[in-house]
């Protein structure tokens, strides 16, 4: 028992106490105190500030940088904002903080310590001892970068003059958002290379979230005279305020040309479910066609009309918008492109069978399709657009007006756009369409009414005058509707004029007899 006090006296000086024991009101906890970086990097260390021994009171802490390498910058951040002091409230026992250190771009390799100090303050604080924490940044120019750039398919095949696109990704391994320069390092002479964002615009920089990634694309356009072989395009990404770039090599293989004895029909199918249509000469024939690729590479196809009757007009339009005309497009490997061939006959075309040959062309190779339009003047001319008037006859005095209502009906199966009224001019009659006189859209089976003001001019002669109204939408025109306007001078107005003249004469005679000559 006498040895116990002696043992305690020997062992107590050798014992160490962990941070957070009764000897301090603060504790600093961190899992990583050393990181490897390159010159120009922003290095971040996360640590937790914790209240020390059994206290639940609010604790305020001030921070300072005890030791920072020359020309380096550093700061302590809480929730993304740089701070010099914080307060841990009664209900909070700890706070996550970040030490951010910016390494100069010309710094040499080696280990560099960064030391921070934390000191509690406030009226309730009895222990004002400073807590120190040291972090180490090791500069290694050969270390892995805190970013990565890659492509899931870094090698593709194509043909001379046919562009090929690579999807690329920049991965940000920093914990905070960072901007990266994206640039072209090298390419074959005479080749075109575009760096594009996901929406197709050219880029030179990308902003990438912390520990996130951002996609972009690299479009490579080999020239028409590119020869068979493998070619490399080199793209790079570099964090801003850094001279350390990461390279992305992309490989483009130029395939041999198509077999010289093969027609384009061996690689592309030109399909049409209907190759013959019967119409009247004032109508337009519309053929739904498609091109399907059986080739393993993209093809640029030009659309051409090889032959058509004189005075006829043939054009290629998209399925979605017939105002959007096509002249060429890229047909991907195995893809199919559908479109419309619109054929407008010569207005005075006689009945008969008329062939039209259309084609897709790639270089000096052609795949064609013959379409037939059967002009039949005896076909029933179904009235798809019809107009009617209420009333269809009216009587007006010179200088008077009346409103009629024109009903426009779509009797077809498709909606009509921009339906307008047309009224011919008649001497002595003025017709004014109320509003804009245009129906923007008229659904199949729908009808709408447009008011029209009819006025007989003051000098209009008596008699029946006839005006004609019709509706029009694109190349569809309704038949004309006749409206008869009977202009007549009112008999009551004539009698009233005679009565007024007689009354004036009577007054004149009365005045002369009563007053005579003076």
pLDDT number for residue 25:
62
Q: Are residues 326 and 419 in the same domain?
A: no
Q: Are residues 203 and 240 in the same domain?
A: yes
Structural domain includes residue 160: yes
* Residues 95, 96, 102: CA angle, nearest 5 degrees: 135
**Which of 401, 398, 397, 403 is closest to 457 using CA atoms?**
398
pLDDT number for residue 345:
92
Q: Are residues 123 and 193 in the same domain?
A: no
Distance of CA 505 to CAs 120, 153, 511, Å? 121, 109, 10
Residue 141: partners with Cβ closer than 8 Å, 6 or more residues away: 38, 39, 109, 244
Residue 155: partners with Cβ closer than 8 Å, 6 or more residues away: 250, 251, 252, 253
Global pTM reads 0.36
Indicate the residue among 139, 162, 182 that finishes a domain.
Answer: 139
Structural domain includes residue 511: no
Put the strands of the sheet holding 110-121 in their side by side order.
34-37, 131-139, 110-121, 59-67, 85-88
Structural domain includes residue 313: yes
Q: Are residues 226 and 210 in the same domain?
A: yes
Q: Could you tell me the CATH number of the domain that includes residue 239?
A: 2.60.40.2310
pLDDT number for residue 260:
54
Structural domain includes residue 8: no
DSSP for residue 129 = P
pLDDT number for residue 6:
36
Bridge partner residues of 485 (DSSP): 394, 465
Chain segment 199-226, per-residue pLDDT in tens: 889 999 998 888 889 999 999 999 878 8
Name residue, tokens 């590479």.
297
CA distance 515 to 511: 6
Q: Are residues 74 and 93 in the same domain?
A: yes
Residue 323 CA from chain centroid, whole number: 20
CA distance 397 to 457: 9
Indicate the residue among 346, 375, 404 that finishes a domain.
Answer: 375
Q: Are residues 132 and 155 in the same domain?
A: no
Residue 450: partners with Cβ closer than 8 Å, 6 or more residues away: 405, 406, 408, 421, 433, 434, 435, 437, 439
pLDDT number for residue 8:
37
Structural domain includes residue 45: yes
- 3-class SS shares of the chain: helix, strand, coil, % to 5: 10, 50, 40
**Number of independent structural domains in the chain:** 4
CA distance 51 to 60: 10
Structural domain includes residue 10: no
CA distance 162 to 326: 19
pLDDT number for residue 507:
65
Chain segment 178-190, per-residue pLDDT in tens: 888 899 999 999 9
Residue-by-residue DSSP string for 469-495:
EEEEETTEEPPPEEEEEEE---HHHHH
Q: Are residues 69 and 111 in the same domain?
A: yes
Q: Are residues 305 and 389 in the same domain?
A: no
Q: Are residues 135 and 151 in the same domain?
A: no
Q: Are residues 444 and 478 in the same domain?
A: yes
CA distance 183 to 240: 12
Q: Is the dihedral of CA 17, 18, 21, 23 positive or negative?
A: positive
Contact of 110 with 137, CB cutoff 8 Å = no
CA distance 76 to 94: 16
Tokens of 80: 């993304």
Bridge partner residues of 35 (DSSP): 137
Tokens of 60: 């305020």
Q: Are residues 129 and 175 in the same domain?
A: no
Taking only Cα atoms into account, the Rg of the chain, rounded to an integer number of angstroms, comes to 45
Structural domain includes residue 3: no
CA distance 470 to 479: 6
Name residue, tokens 């003047």.
377
**Which of 268, 263, 307 is closest to 290 using CA atoms?**
268
Indicate the residue among 343, 375, 407 that finishes a domain.
Answer: 375
H/E element, 359: strand 352-362
**Which of 308, 315, 287, 313 is closest to 355 using CA atoms?**
308
pLDDT number for residue 68:
93
Tell me which residues of the chain have a pLDDT lower than 50.
Answer: 1-23, 493, 497, 518
Burial of 408 per CB tally in 10 Å (0-12, 13-18, 19+): buried
Q: Could you tell me the CATH number of the domain that includes residue 279?
A: 2.60.40.10
Tokens of 65: 């940088």
Q: Which domain holds residue 342?
A: 264-375
pLDDT number for residue 69:
94
pLDDT number for residue 444:
82
CA distance 381 to 158: 52
Structural domain includes residue 494: no
DSSP for residue 149 = E
Q: Are residues 391 and 310 in the same domain?
A: no
């Amino acid at each position: 028992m006498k040895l116990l006090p002696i043992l305690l006296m020997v062992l107590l000086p050798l014992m160490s106490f962990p941070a957070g024991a009764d000897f301090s009101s603060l504790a600093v906890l961190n899992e990583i105190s050393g990181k490897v970086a390159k010159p120009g990097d922003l290095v971040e260390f996360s640590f937790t500030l914790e209240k020390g021994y059994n206290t639940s009171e609010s604790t305020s802490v001030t921070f300072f940088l005890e030791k920072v390498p020359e020309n380096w910058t550093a700061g302590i951040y809480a929730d993304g904002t740089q701070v010099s002091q914080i307060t841990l409230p009664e209900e909070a026992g700890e706070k996550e903080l970040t030490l951010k250190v910016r390494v100069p771009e010309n710094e040499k390799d080696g280990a560099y310590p960064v030391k921070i100090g934390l000191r509690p303050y406030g009226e309730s604080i009895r222990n004002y001892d400073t807590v120190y924490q040291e972090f180490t940044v090791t500069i290694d120019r050969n270390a892995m970068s805190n970013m990565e750039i890659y492509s899931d398919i870094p090698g593709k095949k194509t043909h001379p003059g046919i562009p090929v696109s690579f999807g690329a990704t920049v991965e940000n391994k920093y914990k905070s958002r960072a901007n990266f320069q994206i640039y072209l390092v090298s390419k074959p002479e005479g080749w075109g290379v575009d760096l594009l964002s996901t929406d197709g615009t050219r880029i030179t920089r990308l902003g990438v979230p912390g520990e996130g990634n951002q996609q972009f694309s690299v479009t490579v356009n080999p020239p028409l005279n590119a020869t068979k072989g493998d070619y490399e395009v080199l793209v790079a990404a570099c964090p801003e305020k850094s001279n350390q770039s990461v390279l992305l090599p992309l490989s483009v293989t130029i395939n041999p040309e198509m077999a010289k004895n093969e027609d384009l029909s061996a690689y592309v199918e030109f399909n049409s479910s209907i190759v013959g249509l019967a119409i009247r000469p004032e109508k337009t024939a519309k053929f739904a066609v498609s091109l399907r690729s059986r080739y393993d590479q993209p093809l640029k196809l030009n659309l051409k009309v090889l032959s058509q009757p004189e005075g006829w007009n043939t054009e290629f339009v998209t399925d979605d918008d017939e105002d959007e005309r096509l002249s060429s497009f890229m047909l991907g490997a195995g893809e199919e492109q559908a479109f419309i061939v619109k054929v407008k006959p010569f207005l005075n075309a006689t009945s008969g069978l008329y062939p039209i040959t259309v084609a897709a062309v790639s270089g000096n190779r052609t795949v064609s399709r013959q379409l037939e339009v059967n002009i039949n003047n005896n076909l029933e001319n179904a009235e798809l657009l019809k107009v009617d008037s209420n009333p269809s006859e009216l009587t007006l005095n010179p200088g008077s007006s009346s409103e009629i209502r024109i009903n426009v009906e779509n009797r077809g199966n498709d909606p009509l756009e921009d339906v307008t009224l047309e009224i011919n001019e008649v001497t002595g009659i003025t017709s004014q369409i109320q509003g804009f006189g245009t129906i923007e859209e008229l659904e199949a089976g729908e009808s709408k009414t447009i008011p029209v003001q009819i006025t007989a001019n003051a000098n209009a002669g008596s008699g029946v005058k006839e005006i004609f109204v019709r509706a029009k939408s694109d190349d569809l025109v309704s038949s004309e509707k006749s409206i008869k306007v009977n202009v007549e001078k009112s008999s009551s107005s004539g009698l009233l004029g005679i009565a007024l003249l007689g009354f004036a004469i009577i007054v004149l005679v009365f005045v002369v007899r009563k007053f005579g000559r003076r």
